[in-house]
């Protein structure tokens, strides 16, 4: 089977697909990005990044200007396809594979035989086989031997994607060993990490396992923070002390766990083995319960501050120094507070966005505010995201307000 990988299509130009396409193209590979959003495609072709990711704009502009990267709304013909579409979950916490299926249908129509198809989207066990079957059922003229299919889960950290995409080790799970080797050859164009070849199902589970490990560790920290608050102990000092032990490494508590990875992926394991994934399920529930605990603390502070109090909510993103609001516990807290405390004035401070998110615009008591104005006016200051700009505030700036610091940055 020919291994011509000179023309690569990246399906889905979001937080993972766009950096992948830009880096591939920047390393001289002719890359065509495909996305259903006409607006994003037009922006990308102008060299503009539709979201915040440090370092991406420079690489994208270089690739677009040199002509190695272009974007389109139609699935193009290519030697290799990288699928980086969302895998959301349904209300019952099962994976929704409809975006993967739509990508498979688009790819199926373009295949001539011999192409490599890589699923990068985080997926439940069996999703790569499902993608291959979907393609083959749309193309009865092709057999399983005519396409190479692999799963190569992305594991980059939002905020550090441009660095980690090149330096991280990559797990590559092929439906066949030949598919895994072809995928390795493709990533070798830019990846300096180690290539770890396995089968597709193990690769799917490895990615889910990494994020579940982190979720369980953060749940432990969040449970400790609730216990410590009750016992009058500073949880951040407690964890710092415990982490001096050579075999203890506890993560940090916060207002809850957000983003589209750690807050989602463990559910795919729970869904695959509901009778057995008890610890993983409990960790999810513990982290999901944390925003409600923070809300309780804010409501207590509001009671003391009296009617018509002003609350500064510092940060809406799901974590520091990015603009991503997906599954954000901070945004959830802001929405709930707006609903439950209609007399309070809420000043949301999120330096990485320019307009109030749609889910907050319907409330008359929430405005997007600058940091200085919010601090001048607030009776209660709630630190929700440890953005650098908040860390740099002199603590004396908070003297006149009741402070709820969910990330422990102002101790």
What lies within 8 Å, CB to CB, of 406 at 6+ separation is 253, 254, 255, 294, 382, 383, 384
Of 1-9, 98-106, 156-164, 308-316, the segment contacting ligand SAJ by CB under 6 A is 156-164
Minimum Å gap between C-beta 157 and ligand SAJ is: 4
d(CA 18, CA 33): 7
Draw the binding track, 28-57, toward ligand SAJ (x: CB under 6 A; -: no contact).
Answer: ------------------------------
Quick one: the chain helix, strand, coil %, rounded to 5? 45, 15, 40
Draw the binding track, 246-265, toward ligand SAJ (x: CB under 6 A; -: no contact).
Answer: -----xx-x--xxx-xx---
Alpha-helix residue ranges (DSSP H) falling in 273-356: 278-305, 329-340
> Is residue 125 part of the contact set for ligand SAJ (CB under 6 A)?
no
What lies within 8 Å, CB to CB, of 231 at 6+ separation is none
d(CA 59, CA 44): 12
Q: Which of residues 161-200 bind ligand SAJ (CB under 6 A)?
A: none
Question: Mapping DSSP to helix (H, G, I), strand (E, B) and coil, where does residue 381 land?
Answer: strand
Per DSSP bridges, beta strands 170-174 and 148-151 are: antiparallel
Minimum Å gap between C-beta 248 and ligand SAJ is: 14
152 is catalytic: no
Binder among 158, 173, 266, 291 for ligand SAJ (CB under 6 A): 158
Catalytic residue among 152, 191, 207, 290: 207
d(CA 376, CA 380): 11
Catalytic residue among 152, 191, 230, 261: 261
207 is catalytic: yes
Question: Mapping DSSP to helix (H, G, I), strand (E, B) and coil, where does residue 331 land?
Answer: helix
Smaller CB separation from ligand SAJ, 218 or 366: 218
Q: Which of residues 207-246 bind ligand SAJ (CB under 6 A)?
A: 210-211, 214, 218
Q: Which residue is nearest to ligand SAJ (CB)?
A: 261
Question: Which sequence positions are flagged as catalytic?
Answer: 207, 261
> Which residues are at the interface with ligand SAJ (CB under 6 A)?
122, 154-158, 210-211, 214, 218, 251-252, 254, 257-259, 261-262, 318-319
């Amino acid at each position: 089977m020919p291994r011509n990988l000179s023309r690569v299509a990246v399906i889905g130009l979001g937080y993972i697909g766009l950096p992948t396409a830009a880096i591939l193209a920047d390393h001289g590979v002719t890359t065509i990005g495909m996305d259903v959003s006409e607006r994003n495609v037009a922006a990308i072709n102008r060299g503009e990044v539709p979201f915040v990711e440090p370092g991406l704009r420079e690489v994208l502009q270089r690739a677009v200007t040199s002509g190695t990267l272009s974007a389109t709304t139609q699935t193009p013909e290519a030697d290799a396809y990288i699928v980086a579409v969302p895998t959301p979950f349904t209300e019952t916490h099962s994976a929704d594979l409809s975006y993967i299926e739509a990508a498979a249908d688009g790819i199926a129509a373009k295949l001539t035989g011999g192409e490599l198809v890589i699923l990068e989207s985080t997926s439940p066990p069996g999703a790569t086989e499902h993608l291959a079957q979907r393609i083959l059922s749309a193309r009865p003229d092709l057999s399983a031997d005519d396409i190479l299919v692999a799963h190569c889960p992305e594991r980059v950290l939002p905020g550090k994607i441009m660095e980690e995409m090149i330096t991280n080790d990559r797990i590559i799970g092929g439906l066949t060993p030949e598919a895994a080797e072809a995928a390795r050859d493709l990533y070798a164009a830019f990846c300096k990490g180690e290539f770890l070849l396995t089968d597709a199902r193990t690769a799917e589970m490895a990615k889910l396992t990494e994020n579940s490990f982190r979720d369980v560790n953060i749940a432990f920290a969040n449970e400790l923070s609730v216990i410590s608050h009750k016992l009058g102990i500073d949880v951040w000092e407690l964890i710092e002390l415990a982490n001096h032990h050579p075999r203890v490494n506890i993560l940090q508590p916060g207002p809850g766990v957000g983003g589209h990875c750690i807050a989602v992926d463990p559910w795919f394991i729970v869904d695959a083995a509901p009778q057995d994934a008890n610890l993983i399920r409990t960790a999810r529930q513990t982290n999901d319960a944390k925003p409600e605990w923070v809300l309780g603390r804010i409501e207590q502070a509001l009671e003391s501050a009296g009617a018509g109090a002003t609350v500064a909510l510092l940060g809406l993103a799901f974590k520091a120094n990015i603009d991503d609001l997906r599954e954000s516990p901070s945004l959830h807290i802001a929405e709930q507070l707006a609903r439950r405390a209609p007399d309070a004035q809420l000043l949301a401070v999120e330096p990485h966005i320019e307009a109030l998110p749609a889910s907050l615009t319907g409330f008359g008591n929430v405005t997007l505010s600058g940091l200085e104005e919010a601090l001048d006016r607030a009776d209660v200051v709630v630190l929700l995201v440890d953005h650098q700009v908040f860390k740099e505030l002199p603590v004396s700036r908070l003297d006149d307000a009741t402070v709820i610091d969910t990330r422990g940055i102002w101790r």
